[in-house]
Structure 1
Amino acid sequence: MIEEVVMPSSHTEQLDQLLTQFQEQQRAMVEIQRRLREIRVTATAPRKVVSVTVGHGGHVTDVKFPTAAYKKMPPAELAGVLVDTIADAQRKAADEAAALMAPQMPPGLDAKAMFSGELDVEAFTPPESGLPEPLRAVLRTEG
């Protein structure tokens, strides 16, 4: 016969609170994922030579030439304007993603630095004091 284990009410309440917190965090992350997938940012070059739209992750989703100005440009100049405009749109998309993620980030971690690729990996590495020497050695060689 299986006996039912009855936990003291304080433990049961703590577990209920933890479960509720977990479910709220999970719902928040699902909503953030949805909003990240919806990011669309458009940047337009000076003189409206080109307009570029990117989604989350910086993926180019659209390129338009709103005016005929591009026809008068040498290919190398047009290529430079296109690359700069894509980079501008990607920066803006990363800023939007960072703004969505910032409230969920652990204290001390910069969401904008994470999405721009500038986050220092050391931010994720625990202080070396207290770590066993073999693990410290691995961390030193990985970084």
Structure 2
Amino acid sequence: MSASHTEQFEHLIARYREQYEALRETQQRLREISCTATAPRQAVSVTAGHGGVIKDVKFPTGAYKRMAPNELAAAVLGAITEAQNLATAEAAEAVAPSLPEGVDARRLFAGEVDLQTLLAPEPHLSDTVRDVLKIRD
């Protein structure tokens, strides 16, 4: 390998390491997501983590005792939905910088993005990689 190819290869390795570290940090940030939503009158408080996983449910006041069962159920479900939406928004914000340009993270998390559009049918290979692998067009 020539000096130029060695430098290009070293640059590729350095770039890979930077991307790897950024992904590690994103993964850590996703693990730390914790979003809390509280229903009106503080009847119920729900905390959700990444993926909408419910981490905690609390009844911070005695307001739930004065609620009809269907009213309490609606308050609990509303708080769960809000906490999950907050967690999804935070996850989208964490992942957005690592997505290809033009990909809306919130739409991706909502299942509104065709995942096949994120990858080219054929990977782009630099001339250096083509030379090393002896690939010709």
Is 1:121 matched with 2:120? no
TM-fit CA distance, 1:110:
0.8
Among the aligned pairs, what percent are the same residue? 49
Change beyond 3 A, Cα 1:32–1:125: closer
Q: Which amino acid aligns with 2:78?
A: D
Task: For 1:125 and 1:19, locate their aligned partners in 2 and report how far apart those are by CA, in whole Å.
Answer: 23
**Contact (CA 8 Å) 1:48, 1:67: kept in 2 or not?**
yes
**Please, which of 72, 76, 81 is the counterpart of residue 75 of structure 2?**
81
Tell me what 1:55 maps to.
49
Is 1:36 matched with 2:30? yes
**Contact (CA 8 Å) 1:50, 1:82: kept in 2 or not?**
yes
1:1-20 → structure 2 map (5 Å cutoff): 7-20=1-14
Q: CA RMSD in A?
A: 1.9
What does the per-residue CA deviation read over 1:93-142, in whole Å, with 9 as the maximum and x for residues that have no partner?
11111111111110121111122x242326627799xxxxxxxxxxxxxx
Tell which has more relative contact order, 1 or 2 (C-alpha 8 A, sep 6+).
2
5+ unaligned residues in a row in structure 1: which ranges?
1-6, 129-143
**Contact (CA 8 Å) 1:51, 1:63: kept in 2 or not?**
yes
Task: For 2:5 and 2:120, locate their aligned partners in 1 and report how far apart those are by CA, in whole Å.
Answer: 32
Tell me what 1:137 maps to.
none
Change beyond 3 A, Cα 1:94–1:72: same
5+ unaligned residues in a row in structure 2: which ranges?
122-137
Query: Which segment drifts farther, 105-114 or 56-65?
Result: 105-114
**Contact (CA 8 Å) 2:44, 2:59: kept in 1 or not?**
yes
Q: Number of residues paired by the alignment?
A: 121
Q: TM-score, normalised by structure 1?
A: 0.79
Task: For 2:93 and 2:34, locate their aligned partners in 1 and report how far apart those are by CA, in whole Å.
Answer: 14
TM-fit CA distance, 1:82:
0.6
Tell me what 1:139 maps to.
none
TM-fit CA distance, 1:81:
1.0
